[in-house]
Amino acid sequence: MTDRIRPLRVVVVGHGEPADDVAAELRAVVDEATIVSTYPDVAAVRAELPGDREVPLLVILPGLGPADQRIDALAAMEELAGARVLLLTSPGDHADVARAVDSGTVDAFVALPMTSGFLGQHASSQIARWLRLHHPGALAVLEEQDQAARADSPKSELLRDIEASSHVVEGELVAAIERALGPRPRLHLPAGVRLTRQGRSVDGVFVVISGRVALTRHTEAEDLLLHHASTGPVVGLLSLSRSQKAFFTATTTTDVVVIHLSIEQLDRALALDAEVGAALAAVAIRGFAARLLRSEQLQVERNDLNIALEKERAQLATALSQLEAARLELIAQARFATLGELSAGLAHELNNPVAALTRSADHLADDLDTLLASHPDGAALTATITAARTRAPRSTAEERRLRRALEKLTDAATAWRLVTAGIADETAARGVLAEGPAAVDRFELASRIGAQLRGITVATRRITTLVTSLRSYARPDEEILPAIDLAETLDDTLHLVSHRLRDIEIVRDYTARGRVPGHPSQLGQVWTNVLVNAGEALAEHRPQGGGVITITVADAPGDRVCVTIADNGPGIDPDVLPQVFQPHFTTKHGTVRFGLGMGLGLAAHIVNEHAGSIDIDSQPGATSVTVCLPTTKE
């Protein structure tokens, strides 16, 4: 059964009598079903070539413009994909074929004028090679093409027997070739041009007249440079002895001048001039080739073994490092266990004073209620104190809205004092304003007392939780965390660190509705570290217009709530930014100061324990820390 193929078309690109002569010689050797079409230039081919036939052979005559440009334009055509390419050139120097040689597009360079009949024989052989590659099942066609290729075309045993290359006397070889074939085109190629490619078919050889060529072999481990000094002046002979598959990639390492010989040209030269065979025999001794090839194979194997050994050494080093890390982890766990025992004792010792502080705060609130009971505004003042102790956090935008509403009743400063005191209702505000400035002072003082009582409560709770946290770090358990409002933990922290943030504008934007499972006091440690760092940066390098810290709490995709604390300070040096999460990191004289014990290293640890993430983005005038935490599952 034969491989069914479409009719064939041989394309000739050129004009005038030379193109007509080439087309006539090709028509004399192809079968009746194959069409030979001539086009004057590349543009005509691109515009007029139909796609009804397969194109096994493309013959390009000299034309206007660099050869590389014409070849690139033709190679890009889908109709010419896979076609064998013969480039007909003058015998002179050519520096416009580097890309064609590098890509392997051109299969043979044929010098003009040609020996009569040789182009037809060459073309038949190229078509047969195309059929073997693209339609190996077309046996009948192959046989017919092979017979045409063999007619009056001598075959040399040396091409089949050759196995390696060696140094040759360049002048003798080139002279013998040109006696047989006539003057050959000199191809001037820059460094970096690949003459052969590993694993690809090699249908000819390059004779290096000047310059250097390196052979490389690609392995799974690396690319190996092989016997650069012994490459020799003939590149490709070894590949011809290995089923026409390149064992190496041959790449020019300097500017080179080469002559290209296709298999047919080399075959003809060997048959017509015995000195060509003698010269090639000097560089292609069978035994030397076998020994050289084996030597290179051993070198490749040895290199692969060395790399494998190095990988094993690296794996052993990694295992050793992991063992050392495990040892240090065991030591750390032992220390944490000791810390847990110490924290238990510390909690016991602190329990009584902390409880006393809590009771004192409660008693103080009760005593204030009793004291104010006899005051004319006692009920209102008591309500103000209670509201300050329990009021939910308000965003800056909400406070600004309330202040604008009260500015209808009084000046901006007094309106702001009323909002701060928790008086947001216009009716209540009118009542306080009617009593005069002293009443405003009383309610503002009552609100401040309530806030301070809340601060005492938060601080005592923080002390208790901090001690408990030490025990939980050393002995983690599966406790169920309460669902908390991050905005409340932020406002509590702002109360505690307000003395570190004097003269800094705090802008709050709380829009999150989700609640987060977590330890309020532990997360308070995170906010404390971040806020104090921002405050210190703004204190050292106060920007024009004053320092501003903006706190945003918002819902985020993926069932998360994200807190962003941004400041307009000087920013963090990019060189130290990757280190800010390291324990005890500090720059005493720089713009980054993490002086709260473990600093942001502890903050990152707490966030990780809450299954969250912490990121820092910093540039001059804008630094932001973003903490994202998962919300509770409904």
213 token code pair: 């060529």
The helix (H) or strand (E) run that includes residue 111 is: strand 108-111
Provide DSSP, 27-59.
Answer: HTTS-TT-EEEEESSHHHHHHH--SSSEEEEEE
Residue for token pair 């990019």: 574
Residue for token pair 């130290």: 576
Sign, CA dihedral 386-388-393-394, equals: positive
**76 half-sphere exposure, CB direction, 13 A CA radius:** 9
Residue 497: CB atoms within 10 Å: 16
Residue 197: CB atoms within 10 Å: 18
Q: Strand ranges (DSSP E) for 492-621? A: 504-510, 516-517, 547-556, 560-567, 613-619
Q: Strand ranges (DSSP E) for 587-621? A: 613-619
The CATH number of the structural domain formed by 1-153 is: 3.40.50.2300
Q: Strand ranges (DSSP E) for 541-612? A: 547-556, 560-567
105, 71 Cβ separation under 8 angstroms:
yes
Cis-peptide into 113, omega within 30 deg: yes
Domain boundaries, the chain: 1-153, 157-284, 333-475, 480-634
Backbone angles phi, psi at 138, to 5 degrees: -80, 70
pLDDT at 335: 66
565, 535 Cβ separation under 8 angstroms:
no
Residue ranges for the chain with pLDDT beneath 70: 1-4, 138-169, 226-232, 241-244, 283-291, 293-294, 332-348, 392-395, 465-479, 583-599, 633-634
398 exposure class (CB count in 10 Å sphere: 0-12, 13-18, 19+) = middle
Per-residue 3-state assignment (H helix, E strand, C coil) for 440-454 = HHHHHHHHHHHHHHH
pLDDT at 24: 92
pLDDT at 347: 64
Measured CA distances, 530 to 302, 491, 601 (Å): 56, 14, 11
Name the CATH superfamily housing domain 157-284.
Jelly Rolls (2.60.120.10)
Same fold, 1-153 and 157-284: no
If phi over 0 gives left and psi between -120 and 50 gives alpha, with beta otherwise, what is residue 538? alpha
The length of the chain is 634
Quick: pLDDT tens for 76-119: 999 998 899 999 998 888 888 999 999 989 999 988 887 788 88
By C-alpha distance, which of 592, 619, 603 is closest to 538? 592
DSSP 8-class letter at 577: G
566 DSSP β-pair partners: 550, 624
Largest Cα–Cα separation, the chain: 132
The topology (CATH level 3) of 480-634 is Heat Shock Protein 90 (3.30.565)
545 exposure class (CB count in 10 Å sphere: 0-12, 13-18, 19+) = exposed
Q: How far apart are alpha carbons 372 and 350 in whole angstroms?
A: 33
By C-alpha distance, which of 82, 131, 142, 90 is closest to 107? 82
Which 3 state secondary structure label does DSSP give 579? Answer: helix
123 DSSP β-pair partners: none
**131 half-sphere exposure, CB direction, 13 A CA radius:** 25
Q: What is the pTM of this model?
A: 0.41
CB burial readout 111-142, b (16+ within 10 A) else e: beebeeebbbbbbbbbbbbbbeeebeebeebb
Residue for token pair 């078509």: 127
Contact partners, residue 105, CB within 8 Å, separation at least 6: 71, 75, 85, 99
355 token code pair: 């409880």
